Amino acid sequence: MKLRPVALAVMAGAVAAALGATSPAFAADPPAPDEIVDAFEAVLGPVRTHRPSHAKGTCAAGHFVATPDGTRLSVAPTFSGQRVTATIRFGVGVGNPNGADTTRTTRGLAIRFETPAGDIWDMANISAPIFGNPTPRVMVDGLLARRPDPATGQPNAERVAAFVAANPSTTYQGRWLAQNNPPASWATTPYWGVNAFRFKGQDGQVRHARWVFEPRAGTLRLTEEQMRTLPANFLADELRTRLGRGPVEFDMVLQFPGPGDDLVNPTVAWPDDRPRTTVGRLTVTEVAPGPGGACDPISFLQLDQGPGVEFSDDPTLHARTGSYAVSLSRRLQ
Ligand code: HEM
């Protein structure tokens, strides 16, 4: 069946309900999708016009073609080797749609793949190799620890400090971001999927893997001076200028775990020397001329594309689809 974005939006509520707290892969005491979005809103206030995470973004479009290795390693329709259309959103990891492009946070690459037969696969990736939360419960607790105190309008510093002391792995991503300045362009950073998935290959074997989209233009980060002086909205203009010269390309690369590598905790990267295989190329050919576009009214739900690309047991992965759907439902109200 061909699923159109509108149909997916209508499904959002049902997906959210179905994915509640019942999946066996969830960690103990998992937050329900509504509780997760409520926690974002406890910090940001009601969010009805934009996303609570990566609130700022620009729509783009292009296509994806799997390599022969990709076709070998996944039986999922996206990896057939046919050209698959890509609806794309490049994001900035801020809670405010007017946040600055120089903010020391992650940048996002969200992609909806759609095969000629209408199979849809959504994913959202970030420009850091690790996530800031080991479990969805810790994410909710961290957000609630940072909710503004009604008396001051600011988070309570003692409450935040106590949360961080109790959950040190929530600082790992911030430490990485402190050592790696934000990208100079949406086209000059790797974007990591961060969560592990199970890839089922043509040989019937199931292999755990994480993916990264490597920029063919190379990695280029802002200098400290550029972080101080560049305009707040430079990223979209830079991408428009760049695409005027030709397409922007990323290689999708799978990384396979070694013995003992953590399959369920996205705050821990796997060592760089783990085997890697290039499974496809994403080619970005268009960018929206201004705000809005095809990526705006949808949510990149982070879908399981079974049997070729299935969710691992990482609880943060299982928390995504339902909470993204609830977030979209609130935007559509
Ligand atoms: C506990 C795990 C997570 C939860 C509960 C969560 C929650 C959310 C929510 C509610 C949204 C807004 C979706 C929308 O309104 O359309 C969002 C967006 C996003 N998330 Fe997550 N997230 C989680 C993990 C991750 C991870 C591991 C990554 C990185 C790979 C990630 C990357 C993104 C990106 C890039 C967006 C923006 C997507 C877009 O541009 O539409 N998230 N997240």
The domain that holds 105 is classified in CATH as 2.40.180.10
Residue 9 included in any domain: no
Instruction: Give, using CA atoms, the residue closest to atom 7 of ligand 1.
Output: 320
Inside any domain, residue 185 = yes
Residue 43 lies in a domain: no
Mean pLDDT within 121-135: 98
Q: Is 179 a member of any domain?
A: yes
Distance CA 60, CA 328 (A): 19
278 within some domain: yes
- If one counts the domains in the chain, the total is 1
Mean pLDDT for 121-131 is: 98
* Mean pLDDT on 172-185: 98
Q: Which atom of ligand 1 is nearest to the CA of 36?
A: 5
The answer to the question of residue 32 being in a domain is: no
Q: How far apart are CA 56 and CA 239, in angstroms?
A: 15
- Establish whether residue 198 lines the binding site of ligand 1, counting it when its CB lies within 6 angstroms of any ligand atom: no
Model pLDDT for residues 72-96, shown as the tens digit of each residue: 999 999 999 999 999 999 999 999 9
Q: Given ligand 1 and candidates 15, 19, 35, 53, which is best to mutate, with the most ligand atoms within 8 Å of its CB?
A: 53
Give catalytic status of residue 54 as yes or no: yes
Per residue in 216-274, pLDDT (tens digit) is 999 999 999 999 999 999 999 999 999 999 999 999 999 999 999 999 999 999 999 99
Which residues form the domain of 282? Answer: 58-136+146-312
Whether the pTM exceeds 0.75: the reply is yes
Give the pLDDT confidence score for residue 28 in this predicted structure: 57
Residue-wise burial string across 291-311, b where 16 or more C-beta atoms lie within 10 A, e elsewhere: eebbbeebbbbbbbbeebbeb
Is pLDDT of 4 > 50? no
Look at residue 87 and tell me if it is in a domain.
yes
The share of the chain scoring above pLDDT 70, in percent, equals 92
Pocket of ligand 1, candidates 23, 43, 51, 135: which has the most ligand atoms within 8 Å of its Cβ, to mutate? 51
The answer as to whether 30 is a domain residue is no
Terminal C-alpha separation, the chain: 26
Question: Residue 240, Cβ neighbours under 10 Å: how many?
Answer: 16
* Per-residue pLDDT at 97 exceeds 60: yes
